[in-house]
Amino acid sequence: MAPYAADWWNKAEFPAQILPKLAALELSTPVHRGYSHLFAGLVIAEITRVDTSLATFFLVHHDLFVESLHTFGTEDQKQRLLADASELRTTGAFALTEPLHGSDVAGGMETRARRISSSTGEADDDGDTWVLNGAKRWIGNGTFCDYMLVWARDEADGSVRGFIVDATLPGVSRSRIENKIALRTVQNADIVFKDVRVSETDRFGGISSFEDTKELLRRLADHGGLAGGGPAGSRRSTSPGSTRWKGTSSAGHWPTSS
């Protein structure tokens, strides 16, 4: 990636053509291939050293999408989605932030989900379909991903739920956020959901409140590169001569450098 990274950055262009080559390196989802969390962090650190925005693509796809599926997906969802996502044949996004709600999204989430029966189209507590309406903003990989994990408030009881949304479903529209001054290679999207019908089988298993969502994010922060790899790689890129891998952090998870 290194020889091309500046060009991709200047053009604000995500190089989708490299995904098959990256997959062939078998570095995606390293922990699930039997590698350590330390190794997962080092993969992110090395990509970050080349370009933070390419690392962000990896973190969103692997840590926020694939790892979420591993941690909280139903068996059926794992069977259907994990193999392709792990091999980068499909890509994913994590859609939580909204145009008017970032830090305060827990209390302010406006995206709504209504459970209905697909045969009658009427609200039904046991229905087989959910109807999503709302908008998300700043969603990494959102312009080109195949699937997105979308967080929405259940109209029936106000609880926050997750949905695996196929980006090609009718009612999903996405547009690229232009003129970023940082992380230019990773693509961020504004996404609008207008009466998007999602099957009950795509309601994200195991999540029925914002507390569950927070718990998921807490677990992901303990994983792979999210917490340690990025900062370590940035440090290496800014002081390459003085930085070398030394050992692990006091918690034993992350490489430290000197």
Query: Is residue 96 within the footprint of ligand FAD (CB under 6 A)?
Result: yes
Q: How far is the CB of 213 from ligand FAD (least distance, A)?
A: 11
Query: Is residue 111 within the footprint of ligand FAD (CB under 6 A)?
Result: no
Q: Which stretch binds ligand FAD (CB under 6 A): 16-24, 33-41, 96-104, 220-228?
A: 96-104
10 Å Cβ neighbour count for 145? 27
State which residue has the least CB distance to ligand FAD. 102
CA–CA separation, 219 vs 241, rounded Å? 34
Q: Which stretch binds ligand FAD (CB under 6 A): 33-41, 138-146, 152-160, 168-176?
A: 138-146
Nearest C-alpha neighbor of 164 from the set 150, 153, 154: 150
CB of 255 closer than 8 Å to CB of 48: no
CA–CA separation, 69 vs 256, rounded Å? 29
CB of 155 closer than 8 Å to CB of 131: no
CB of 180 closer than 8 Å to CB of 9: no
CB of 30 closer than 8 Å to CB of 87: no
Query: Is residue 103 within the footprint of ligand FAD (CB under 6 A)?
Result: yes
Nearer to ligand FAD, 38 or 96 (CB): 96
Nearer to ligand FAD, 65 or 254 (CB): 65
CA–CA separation, 44 vs 187, rounded Å? 18
Query: Is residue 140 within the footprint of ligand FAD (CB under 6 A)?
Result: yes
Q: How far is the CB of 102 from ligand FAD (least distance, A)?
A: 2
The correct pick among 55, 139, 149, 160 for binding ligand FAD (CB under 6 A) is 139
CA–CA separation, 94 vs 114, rounded Å? 20
Q: Which stretch binds ligand FAD (CB under 6 A): 24-32, 95-103, 153-161, 218-226?
A: 95-103
Q: How far is the CB of 36 from ligand FAD (least distance, A)?
A: 26
CA–CA separation, 120 vs 252, rounded Å? 55
Nearest C-alpha neighbor of 116 from the set 155, 150, 77, 148: 155
Q: Which stretch binds ligand FAD (CB under 6 A): 133-141, 160-168, 208-216, 220-228?
A: 133-141
The correct pick among 143, 188, 225, 227 for binding ligand FAD (CB under 6 A) is 188
**How many residues sit close enough to ligand FAD to count as binding (CB under 6 A)?**
12
Q: Where are the beta strands (DSSP E) in the chain?
A: 92-95, 112-116, 129-140, 147-154, 160-166, 172-176, 188-199, 245-248, 255-257
> Which residues from 54-83 bind ligand FAD, rule CB under 6 A?
60
User: Site residues (CB under 6 A) for ligand FAD?
Assistant: 60, 94-97, 102-103, 138-140, 183, 188
